[in-house]
Structure 1
Amino acid sequence: MNKQIEELLKYDIIEESNSEWGAPVVMCRKTTGQLRFCCDFRSLNQVSATHFFPLPRLEDVFDSIGKSKAQVFSTLDLFSGYWQCGLDPSTAHKSAFVTPSGVYQWKRRPFGIASAPASFQHMLTHVLHGLNYQMALVYVDDILVFSRNFEEHMKNLQLVFDRLLSAGLTLKPSKCEFAQKEVLYLGHRISREGVKVDQSKVEAVKSFPVPKTETQVRSFLGLCNYYRKFIKNFAYIAKPLTNFTKKEVPFEWSEKCQKSFDKLKDALCSPPVLAYPDLSKPFILTTDASGTAIGYILGQFDSEGRERVCAYNGRSLSQSETKWSISEKECLAVLEGIKNYHVYLANSHFKIYTDHQALNWLSSIKQSTGRLARWYVLLQGYDYEICFRRGSKNTNADCLSRREYPHTDNNLPEPEDSIPSIDVNQISTSEPNNSEPVEITFFFTENPPIQRPILAAIDTPTEFNITTENIGDAQKDCPDFKDMYTYLSNDTLPEEKKRADKVKHDFQQYCLLDGVLYHFFQPRSRGVKHKDRFIKQLALPRKFRNDVLASYHNLGHFGFDRTYFAMQQKYFFPGMYQAVADYIKGCDMCQRAKQPAHAKRVPLTNMPIQDTFSRWHLDIIGPFQALTKESYRYILIIVDSFSKWTEAFPVRFKSAEEISRILHREIFSRYGTCHSLVTDRGQGFASKLVAAINQIYNVKHSFSSSYHPQTNSVAERTNKTIIQCMRTLVHENQLNWPELLPGILMAFRMTPSASLEFSPFYLVFGKEMNLPLDTNLIPKPDINKNLVHHIKNVLDNLKIARTLATENLKHAQEYQKIAL
């Protein structure tokens, strides 16, 4: 705690105090091991006056967007928003808190003080006065900027940035999105087509599994009965299902049952059951927990006093959460609901309906220790009232807590990781972010161009709280590896027979080196004779898996094969195959940017397989957007036919001069003379100058058939992937694509292709490329102990890898012929 106090003093967020006020401090440990610094302001909030400031009405928000005919949108999020608001010196002493090292008070607005969201809304509305509803919208700390076109959008962003700058406010780049066609704002998807309800609001009902027992039918009917007054002809529609509630009716699911089930689900996900949130009216949050899942529903009462739904949600409990007490599970449902619907609940009074009466005692906990007490402290910034509702009256949330959901991983962070509070580990003089600056010129009619940074969506981690020293400790604590680690370190088997048998069965696949556990994997050999070839994989603990998944996928946003094969060369954990698949399916950037692939059946003629750097395939793609006439407009792609090692050079023109210069300076001087080049019949490639260069280096030049680019399929596939990467990483109308090429090439070279099963980097250098995260996780080998052995090992690896890659390539070619 003392260390955190020193940091808060250093950055002028708190100061020493002699105030008679004194809130206790709670240090909440996150699942990552970091600490959250929280003050228990319950006593202060009870005697504080309520600051009311009206929130924007959704109707006004949608009307202003519709009238502007907006087509380009940006969402802005302030960095540690509350800390950017100073406290009135005359009342700052009331924010004092007590620590073992003394009494301190806040100089900036802390989390947890009542009415903080309203005050923040008031402040931002004042800062953007005159721009509100014209080009920007403000909801607490979320700002939406909208415009009719990109040029107008740049001007509008400039105006908003100038206002924020003059007020001394800073943004959090990692949570901002710029110049998007569609954004999620206030729980709605806003685009040029209009405003649509976010489908995640009703996913918990739409994905409701078909009941398999009478009990499950009763549970589903409990949800339907709760809103039956809004469902026309409810009794008639539900009759095939309600028949199951009769004792003499056997459970046999029929087509009529399925139609009834589907109609009821559709009714629950449509008006009048489903209603638009009205920000001027109070919300209600209905929650419930069972032994296996939690459910929560956001709703409001209409003008006639009838409860209507704004959103449904729920999830399964992880294995560790199922072991919690019932009070902790019920409180977890409340926190998950508030976390998911924070945008609606942060600045208004709302009621929480639960059938667990013990939650009414939550506010009376005296000591700020334990999971329930910590959670209550984290919720003190919300204005809510807990209301008890008997289980028989709580059937809507009860149903969602009893349905089946996909498995929830044990690594899921506790809600306290997501509920707003103070993360002392994030204090810094400037906000570290996971994006790279891109120069964009903002055009004005009177002033000269001004260069301003806009952040590109390169989500590549640059800082990691991981070191090789804590890998072994994490493995010892990881449920997937602790039994094996203990057995290999001191020959102790688990007491449980099933676990002990698994260790005895698998231990030959593991080894313990310098306190770090590794797994050995033997890939396919395709019948190639060689000494036993194993890949040494780091046994990856659960706490580091999301970081590794993000690091490997986000570098180039490649598909499953490339991402999985790249990780497989260095890491292992149970279920890695499915984890990679799930991560890629859930990647928002890929879903928004990538287009579905359509297989095309074309006659296949395979070119002979040659050694590394013996045959290069060339092509030019473009033109791309350029800032000036002198800027780069094209990309020259050069791919080695065997290893798939790729070079890409931005060029201004598709001229013979540029192609010849790059071949001479960048290819032949670096990789030596090749046997042949393969290109199309473009004017730049079919020139006398390129022919002269080829003659000097004694290179055979082959041309693909006219109107048949498949002849140069190696380059064509690379072109497609590079364009896909650029579509994912470059936002619309941003001109930074030349700066992205080195990162895209790095991703290409480190990821294996499905046909080779080796990365280009490995086939060239005999070792795998390291990412920044790898240098922290994987211990550095000491090659000085036996340098000759190390060199021999690299050469052996190259020989084996190239032989296997050749066989894999032949196999892939034969498979493609059979598939056709």
Structure 2
Amino acid sequence: MLVLEATACVAAVEVDADDASDTRTRPKGAEPKSAREALYAAQSLPALEASGNPVAPLVREYIDIFPDKPSSSRSWVLHEIDLVPGAKYCVTRQWPLPGDQVEAIDAFFESRRQAGHVRESLSPHSSPTFCVKKATGGWRIVHAFNKLNDTTIPAQTPIPRMDMVLDTMSGSTKYSAIDLMDGFYQILMCVEDVPLTAVSTPSGMLWEWLVMPQGLKNDPVTFNRMVSNLLRPYREFSPSYFDDIFIHSPQDGMIDVEVHLDHLRQVFEEMRENKLYANLKKCIFCAPEIPVLGSYVSKEGVRADPEKIEAICAWPVPQDQKQPRQWLGLAMYLHHYSKNFPLTIQPLSQLLKADATWSWRPEHQTAFDGEDEFVNRAHHSKPFHVVCDASDFAIGCALMQFDDEGRERVVGYQSRQLKQAERNYPVHDKELLAMRYALIKFRVYLLGEKTFAIFTDHASLRTATKSPHLSQRMARWLSLFSERPLQAGQDKHPRRPRFRRPDYVESGRHAIGDEDDDECAVCVAEGVAAVEVAATSPLRDLISAAYGSDAECAEMLKYLRDQSNTARRRLSSRSRARVDRYVLDGKMLTYCVDRSDHPRIVVPLDDDLRARLIHEFHDTPSGGHLVREKTFASLSRDFYWPHMYKWVRKWVRSCEACQRVKPSPSKQAPLRPLPVAIDPWSSVSMDFVFGLPRDAQGRTGVLVFVDRFSKMVHLAPVAVSVTAVQSAAIFLEIVYRHHGLPSLIVSDRDPRFTAAFWTELFKTLGTRLKMSRDGRPTRTCKQGSRRRAEKLLHVF
């Protein structure tokens, strides 16, 4: 069971204000694809005036609240960062970047400095800055607020309930929608928390934000609280949801247009007074129906967004027995709890029998079209979860809920074909692309959720998202996950739906089948996202498929199949020297040094595949985070690629868990024996022995003196409370009086021997004291002499 730990891999990303929700606009010159896009395509002042929209004069009057860029910040709204008790400095080292990215970062901060958004900082906190490539060109500036977000206490401000917003809006006659613009930069940071927002740049600068930067943990909550407070007097006709403001007006005995214009004027005036700005291109005015939070609201009520179920409703008519079986596999998973579903699909079930003759009839078409009836309306009081899937040719997702009886219901579907460039992505990038696609399409449902789950099916996402140096594409996609932190949890999902329409498949392309399904594990998030990962495609198939992208392996496979001189000449000199070590085992290329060696699977030049193998042999519970030699020995028993040991050494050396948990080996001085004594009583060992039977004077110990040359022993009875001064007197009486002053005295680090009096005494006498190591008292007196003396005293 594999669990994706996404907390360490998701960075808080500074994105353009329009990018986060820019799913409703198309490139300039492109034709709208749906009624939704047609609504937004006409939203400009000239277009409003040309179409005779009654709101056009009002928009011209308040044109200052629709600027290209906001000009000032509000001083009465402050964003605060509450850290968990005991939180330390949030510091992440800045890594170097290419020159063009450094220039883009410096230009960005210079523009923000001129706008009064940032200033130079001396803060002890620091978060790194880097860039990701925009789809339209240029660089997007990214702040990795990971550590700061991890130590931030999540805000508990209530989020507006979408079901209440929809219920209050349905039944009106005129609707408008306003999309707020660049709202985060309009909110000031609390003065005490400004140092926490410090960010570093590759050019060596440290800046701190005076306004609320995008990417902080509680940014959306602060912005929503600000908008809700401003519009509280108008909530009867103007509900809000984060950066979306909706205005709805019933007829109420008056001309509905006049009522609606009055409502718009009140909202516009409030926006002007509080310097709240909107993006005119993303606004809708005076329409009989508008899209609201994933649904359409009109006088007739609330209906589902047709785009949410387009992927299933537009499923092509089956042409053979295989295609309706694919459709039923999806439908049975998504709707086997529906009351009338078995009866509805009964004609299709009969068509799939082994002895049935393929003939598509009207009753089959009726059953096929009945899919639309089983898409349910979202209940915003219940949690959502998303199921994603990706194949070689398409991606798709389903938004789902559990009803009151615990049955799983489908709220909406989305799917699309992969573009030509996307089909070349690695498998984990396709799965991550499906997750990103789901979060964009179902964002209005999921943004207000405290917890929800996304189910996907690729184990490499667990390691691919952990790297601090993500690819440009992955870093850009992960920006959608930065609105809330991720936490790892566990759960199971019975089965994943399929979004693999037959008309998406190209000829000659192989679709991944259902036989590779396995148990799932889910990441439960506090906020925006959670991810469930399942073990999927067999490793041998992944390796075999990757041989084609490695020129050396591909040429070796051709030679082993043909055994021709021409194929041999195409091999590199290194491969020709080792050609006898390679053996073709079906589709797998194996390697063995000699006949006694166990054949090992050759892993092609695929960084993701090799990293996944090392991760499984080192980071997993079965790997046990062993040292590099043991990890290499375990991995090299079954796999081989050139310079494998260097890969393993670099991986183990950079393993965060190993560095954090395993103690670093400290250098220790070598053990050296004491010098051999050359004269009697020139070198003396002494030590205390306590715990002996009490004598007549109440003494329970002896002070032992041993000549290291002759092993002669002197014993002096002492009490437990013997002092350093008394010990020195005993030494002078027993040793010095009979044998003179020794040149070397060996003892342990007993306080009686290390006292100032004792040290000063022997310094005056010219004798060197040699202390034994801690925990090695047996070196002070010879073990045999001490043991015999102690045994003799116990006997008597």
TM-score by length of 1: 0.45
Structure whose CA Rg is larger = 2
Determine which structure has greater relative contact order: mean sequence separation of CA pairs < 8 Å that are 6+ residues apart, divided by chain length.
2
TM-score by length of 2: 0.47
Question: Of Structure 1 and Structure 2, which has the larger fraction of its residues in helix?
Answer: 1
